[in-house]
Amino acid sequence: MTVSFDLLAMQMLTGIALGAIYALLAIGLSLIFGMLTVVNFAHGAFFMVGAMLGVYFFTITGNFWFSLLLVPIITGSIGLLAERFLVRPLYGRGIDYPLLLTFGLSYVMIEAMRVIFGVEGIPSSTPELLRGSVDLGFGGFPLYRLFLIVMTGAIILALWLFLERTRFGLIIRAGSRDPEIVKILGVDVAKVWLIVFGIGTAIAGLSGILASPTRSVNPEMGVSILAESFVVTVVGGMGSLMGAVVAGLLVGVVYSLTSLFAPAFAELSIFVLMAVVLLFRPQGFFGKAGLMS
């Protein structure tokens, strides 16, 4: 099979756009795990809720930017309530307890969306301002996918500045390494955990609305992407934000290129990638050995 440079470049950029969504989801997962040591199985459900609410608000208001602002606030607020009243009582009981709880919470959220919006979901569309394509020299690339890449880069930069340049970011980074020392220094760790869980779920909701114009929006959409986001998190290293970004982009490109050369193996390719990485580096690219123990 002969592939032109233009087609290869287009497919690579498509993979980066897909990887941007994976990276955002994995950042939320890694942030929560790195600080709280909670494997959040409801993360895909928060992604789905963000997509469905985003499309709903966009439909009734006609303002995509308003939805883009409102959705992470709503999903983050749901995350705050979930951490405070459901997850927090399970701290110290082992990693299995919050894992099972969030697994059950995901099904509650899915059923709630089915009741509210129906099983078929909601038709989604691209905002009028972001329709069409841009000539990049090797072909026309969809404007919305380009916006998706730029928006993801801006969110990652903002999160990095927050974690690296603010006092609260310093507390989060210190708490992820040694929460006991942070407690001794007089910091209310429970409040920090609450805010971190809220930020993680807000990012999941934001990634949902950003992804909505590129995929079918229905109550089950979070199930498959949850597995893919865990692949990204494991490949990048549990708890590593840098790993989430690098692995997200890599997984997106691998999936996109496999779709070009062997479409039947596209879904399988990312799991093969995970297996290969774990064979040579069990903790992932940027993860720490023994973090799950």
Q: Is the pLDDT of residue 293 over 60?
A: no
Q: Which residue bears the tokens 């979070």? A: 222
- pLDDT tens profile 138-188: 888 999 999 999 999 999 999 999 988 888 888 877 776 666 777 777 788
Ramachandran sector of residue 94 (left: φ over 0; alpha: ψ -120 to 50; beta: rest):
left
Q: Crossing angle for the helix pair 189-211 and 143-165, nearest 10 degrees?
A: 170
Q: Return the higher-pLDDT residue of 205 and 34.
A: 205
- What is the pLDDT, as a whole number, of residue 150? 95
Query: Under DSSP, is residue 38 helix (H, G, I), strand (E, B) or coil?
Result: coil
Query: What's the CA gap between 27 and 242, in Å, rounded?
Result: 8
- pLDDT tens profile 84-97: 999 999 988 888 89
What is the model's pTM?
Answer: 0.93
- pLDDT tens profile 40-52: 999 999 999 999 9
Calculate mean pLDDT across residues 106-134: 92
Q: Is the pLDDT of residue 292 over 70?
A: no
Confidence of residue 196 (pLDDT cuts 50, 70, 90): very high
Confidence of residue 277 (pLDDT cuts 50, 70, 90): very high
- What is the pLDDT, as a whole number, of residue 290? 55
Structure tokens, 260: 């070009």
Domain layout of the chain by residue ranges: 23-219
Structure tokens, 218: 């229905």
- What is the pLDDT, as a whole number, of residue 289? 63
**What is the per-residue DSSP string for 89-149?**
GGTTS-THHHHHHHHHHHHHHHHHHHHHH-TT-B-----GGG-SEEE-SSSEEEHHHHHHH
Q: Which residue bears the tokens 């040579």? A: 280
Q: To 10 degrees, the CA torsion angle through 48, 24, 76, 171?
A: 160
Confidence of residue 240 (pLDDT cuts 50, 70, 90): confident
Calculate mean pLDDT across residues 107-131: 92
Query: Under DSSP, is residue 217 helix (H, G, I), strand (E, B) or coil?
Result: strand
- Residue 103: phi and psi, rounded to 5, are -65, -45
